[in-house]
Amino acid sequence: MMIDRIIGAAALLLAAVYLYATAQIPTLEIGDPLGPKAFPILLGIVLIAAAILLFSETLKADPVTVEKPPAESRRHLWLIGGVTAWTALYFGLFDRAGYLVATVVYLLAMTAVFNPGKWVANVLTTVLWAVGSYVLFVKILGVSLPAGLLSF
**What does the alpha-carbon distance between residue 120 and residue 152 come to, in Å, rounded to a whole number?**
27
pLDDT tier, 16 (very low <50, low <70, confident <90, very high otherwise): confident
Kindly report the average pLDDT of the chain as a whole number: 82
Reply yes or no on whether the pLDDT at 44 is more than 80: yes
In single-letter form, the type of residue at position 8 comes to G
**What does the alpha-carbon distance between residue 64 and residue 136 come to, in Å, rounded to a whole number?**
45
- Best mean pLDDT range from 2-6, 26-30, 92-96: 92-96
**What does the alpha-carbon distance between residue 7 and residue 87 come to, in Å, rounded to a whole number?**
19
**What does the alpha-carbon distance between residue 109 and residue 115 come to, in Å, rounded to a whole number?**
10
Query: Can you tell me the mean pLDDT for 59-76?
Result: 65
Query: Can you tell me the mean pLDDT for 112-140?
Result: 91
Q: What is the pLDDT, as a whole number, of residue 103?
A: 92
**What does the alpha-carbon distance between residue 51 and residue 97 come to, in Å, rounded to a whole number?**
32
More confident residue, 56 or 72: 56
